[in-house]
Amino acid sequence: MSYETRAYDNKHGDPVVVLVATGTHDVSRLVNLLAGASPTCEQISLGRTVLRQVRRHNAGRAALRLLRDHGGPDFTEPGEDAR
């Protein structure tokens, strides 16, 4: 699948993640990927990419702390996904 991702903080300091998939085939695969129950290697790869990008930005790190503080997984520290 071909995709591009970008993560940044907007002018208000809010985290923004942009994911672009181009073409009918890739868009349909992306929709299927995000709707799937069991992770595939594409989901794992995309998740790692977005997580790396979000960790680079202050508001993204704040969003990860919020997730952790409310019982979600702790993605605040770089682990094996930081590759």
Q: pLDDT class for 79, splitting at 50, 70, 90?
A: low
Name the DSSP letter for residue 82: G
Q: For tokens 């993560």, what's the residue?
A: 7
pLDDT tens column, 10-32: 999 999 999 988 888 888 888 78
Query: What residues contact 40, with CB distance under 8 A and at least 6 apart?
Result: 33
pLDDT at residue 83 is higher than 50: no
Quote the CA–CA distance of 49 and 56 in Å, as a whole number.
11
What's the predicted TM-score (pTM) here? 0.69
The domain segmentation of the chain, as residue ranges, is 3-82
